[in-house]
Amino acid sequence: MRANTGVEDLLRQERQSFREARRLGEVSVAWAALEREHIIGQPYLGAHFRCHLSMLGFAIELRDWRELRGQILRLLLAPLGNALGRLPVGNNGRSNVSAFAPMEIPADLTARIESTSSGTSGSSR
């Protein structure tokens, strides 16, 4: 399944937030943007996988070996989870949480995601 234009816009916004925070050296803000990108893109294999690749790259850049190991595992699991439709809704994609644990989606993000799917059917959120 491919993300609709509204979802793609949200993904781009979070990616831009990540890049800007990274450029400014705001590591926690950069991670937060990647986490939000993960929540938005998780139902779409391409976006989901791309986000984990970005998380892996950022972990390498930071020399965060624990996160690196966790992202390698998630890169292996993401295609299977998407194929089987077994994704923990709201999971932020980081290695400091279980790859299988659903999490609460931030309220502002829920509203933004829902606004992209109004008028469409088959939304899993």
Residue in 53, 124, 111 with CA at minimum distance from that of residue 82: 124
What is the average pLDDT across 57-76? 98
Question: Is residue 39, in this structure, part of any structural domain at all?
Answer: yes
Full domain range(s) for residue 75: 5-88
* pTM metric for this prediction: 0.89
DSSP notation for 47-90: HHHHHHHHHHHHHHHHT-HHHHHHHHHHHHHHHHHHHHT---TT
Query: Cα–Cα distance between 62 and 108 in angstroms, integer?
Result: 28
What pLDDT is attached to residue 46? 96
Query: Cα–Cα distance between 47 and 41 in angstroms, integer?
Result: 5
pLDDT single digits (tens) 7-33:
999 999 999 999 999 999 999 999 999
Question: Is residue 62, in this structure, part of any structural domain at all?
Answer: yes
Question: Is residue 125, in this structure, part of any structural domain at all?
Answer: no
**Residue 17 CA: distances (Å) to CA of 33, 49, 76, 118:** 6, 19, 26, 25
Query: Cα–Cα distance between 50 and 14 in angstroms, integer?
Result: 13
pLDDT single digits (tens) 73-95:
999 999 999 999 999 999 999 99
Question: Is residue 16, in this structure, part of any structural domain at all?
Answer: yes
Question: Is residue 106, in this structure, part of any structural domain at all?
Answer: no
